[in-house]
Amino acid sequence: MSTKAKEKKPMSLTNQVLISMIVGLVVGVTLKQLGPPAFLQAWLVEGLLLVGGKIFLASLKLLVVPLVFVSLVCGTASLDDIKKLGRVGGKTLGLYLATTAAAISLAVVVAIAVAPGAGFELSTTATFEAKPAPPLSETFIAIFPTNPIKAMADGNMLQVIVFSILFGIALCISGSPGKRIADVFQDLNKVLMKLVMMIMMLAPYGVFCLITKVFAEQGFGAILPLIKYFLVVVLCLAIHAGITYPTLLKTLAGLNPITFFKNARSPLLFAFSTASSNATLPVTLETARDKMGVDNTISSFTIPLGVTINMDGTAIMQGVATVFIAQAYGIDLTINDYVMVVVTATLASIGTAGVPGVGLIMLAMVLKQVGLPVEGIGLIIGVDRLLDMMRTAVNTAGDLTVTCIVGRSERQLDAKVFNADTSGSADVNLQKSFHGALK
Ligand code: ASP
């Protein structure tokens, strides 16, 4: 037998993560079923798993601000003329908003048809007073930073995005000094991607901690009383990911949706296990470039933007939750109210940070807008973590779908890379190079 055949191929990182998810799920559900003794609860669930999961999430999040800044500056600076920037920016923004509006419309229609909240017959205290949402003008002004360092320190991603784009444009029009600085940013980008890979080595352990803790605490028990709500959200997420995205990919970009989902495996798993599209950003960026074949000039612009403003899965949860709460409290919503829900949830998704649970907080804004009791959120909070994991995967799939469509329309998608069977190979190569570097 040749040595080549004998050489054992290391398991890809994606597969390692998948396995730790499954093991985490089994261990977590078992712990929940057994009702772990207090010491195990304190040392394992609230100790080891909590610390391990938090450290992993923190390590991923530490990358977000530098990655968004550096990658957007590179992306903008390489879109060499302002016209191109306007065109790519317009397409990207238009698609992000349109897909979110479609997602929430679907959610509202399905929820009205299935009526998951019927039969709850709750009454609301009359003391609830809807505070007006901040005026649109204020929200718009808040996007523009007065101090970019503060914006970065606060993790205010919309402000970081505005500053990065302006900085990138300035580099574009600064001649050779701009070119020199842009080269430094390209190098920085490469260094940051190496840092991403170092942190990714922790992924199988981090994911195990996160998943085990979720299931050890929640099990599946919380779902039962809310099974209809839960299933309607899952159904809408499945329709959006399984029909809307494939249709868009096929019709607007002529791409094979099955290949798309195969290529997207890694970021989808990460999004699911971390419930944070921000934390998944490094993997999404890498996938857009190395597996989808979308040139850096496009992906380093569209992905950080999408991770921040595009939340189709979140919008779906908000649509279903709004209808569910209205039905549970026996409040009739008018057509106008539904239109308001679609508009508010679409705008809310722009302001929703890609971190766990924020969609639920932003739901308060949608409920207030149509005068529904905000305390209704308490009804669905028990099942939100599981739904959060699923909707974050859809959020991430949406970012990648739009990136592929924009990349294709700008002739910046390499079909050879998109169609190549690279399942896991990038991970494996990176693992090899990483371990090689350590030797
Ligand atoms: N966890 C979601 C995300 O990071 C946001 C949310 O819906 O809470 O994309």
Per-residue pLDDT tens over the stretch 75-91: 888 776 778 888 998 99
Dist CA 279 CA 283 (whole Å): 9
∠ at Cα 60 (57, 62), nearest 5°? 105
Q: Report the C-alpha dihedral over residues 90, 95, 98, 102, rounded to 10 degrees.
A: 180
With a 6 A CB cut-off, is 385 part of the ligand 1 pocket?
no
> Would you say the CB of residue 388 lies under 6 angstroms from ligand 1?
yes
Nearest atom in ligand 1 to 280's CA: 4
Atom of ligand 1 nearest to the CA of 388: 1
CA of 381 to the centre of ligand 1 (A): 14
pTM: 0.82
Segment 341-360 mean pLDDT: 80
What separation in Å is there between the alpha carbon of 318 and the centre of ligand 1? Answer: 11
Give me the pLDDT at residue 196, please: 81
Residues in contact with 289: Cβ distance below 8 Å, sequence separation at least 6, in sequence order: 295, 296, 299, 300
| Among the listed residues 321, 313, 312, 311, the one whose alpha carbon sits nearest the alpha carbon of residue 383 | 321
306 lines ligand 1 (CB under 6 A): no
| Percentage of residues of the chain with pLDDT beyond 90 | 41
Among 317, 329, 405, 343, which Cα is nearest to 107's?
317
Confidence tier at 7 by pLDDT (50, 70, 90): low
Q: Is 318 in the pocket of ligand 1 (CB under 6 A)?
A: no
Task: Compute, in angstroms, the gap from residue 289 CA to the centroid of ligand 1.
Answer: 23
What pLDDT shows up at residue 211? 86
Q: Is the CB of 275 under 6 A from ligand 1?
A: yes
Q: Which residue has the higher pLDDT, 359 or 435?
A: 359
Q: Does residue 41 register a pLDDT over 90?
A: no
DSSP string, 322-371: HHHHHHHTTPPPPHHHHHHHHHHHHHHHHH--SSTTHHHHHHHHHHHHTT
The superfamily in CATH containing domain 12-438 is Sodium:dicarboxylate symporter (1.10.3860.10)
Greatest mean pLDDT among 252-256, 333-337, 435-439: 252-256
Does 378 contact ligand 1 (Cβ within 6 A)? no
> What band does 203 get if pLDDT is binned at 50, 70 and 90?
confident
Give me the sign of the Cα torsion angle 236, 301, 153, 279: positive
The residue contributing the CA closest to ligand 1 atom 3 is 354
Ligand 1 site, residue 392, Cβ cutoff 6 A: yes
CA 346 to chain centre: 15
Q: Is the dihedral of CA 292, 294, 299, 300 positive or negative?
A: positive
Closest atom, ligand 1, to C-alpha of 395: 9
CB neighbours (10 Å) of residue 29?
16
Q: Per-residue pLDDT for 394 more than 90?
A: yes
Percent of the chain exceeding pLDDT 70 equals 89
Q: Using the mean position of ligand 1's atoms as its centre, give its distance from the Cα of residue 387 in Å.
A: 10
Phi and psi at residue 161, to the nearest 5°? -65, -45
Nearest-angstrom CA–CA distance, 338 and 104:
10
CB 16 within 8 A of CB 204: yes
Q: Of 97-101, 258-262, 263-267, 347-351, which range is least confident?
A: 347-351
Q: Taking phi first (over 0 means left), then psi (-120 to 50 degrees means alpha), and beta for anything else, what does residue 220 get?
A: alpha
CA of 391 to the centre of ligand 1 (A): 7
Amino acid in position 107: A
Per-residue pLDDT band for 1 (boundaries 50, 70, 90) equals: very low
Predicted confidence at residue 422, as pLDDT, reads 60
Q: Could you give the CA distance from residue 238 to residue 218 in angstroms, rounded to a whole number?
A: 23
Q: Residue 25: name the closest of 220, 203, 209, 215 by CA.
A: 215
> Is 349's C-beta closer than 6 angstroms to any atom of ligand 1?
no
Q: At what angle do helices 384-409 and 82-114 cross, to 10 degrees?
A: 140
Ramachandran angles phi, psi of 307, nearest 5°: -60, -30
pLDDT in tens, 111-167: 999 988 877 766 655 343 444 556 667 767 888 999 999 999 988 878 888 999 899
Q: Is 277 in the pocket of ligand 1 (CB under 6 A)?
A: yes
**How many Cβ atoms are within 10 Å of 120's Cβ, its own excluded?**
17
Q: Of 255, 376, 244, which is closest to residue 322 (Cα–Cα)?
A: 376
Q: Do residues 207 and 21 touch, judged by C-beta distance below 8 A?
A: yes
Q: Decide whether any atom of ligand 1 lies within 6 Å of the 312 Cβ.
A: no
Q: How far is the CA of 397 from the centre of ligand 1 (A)?
A: 13
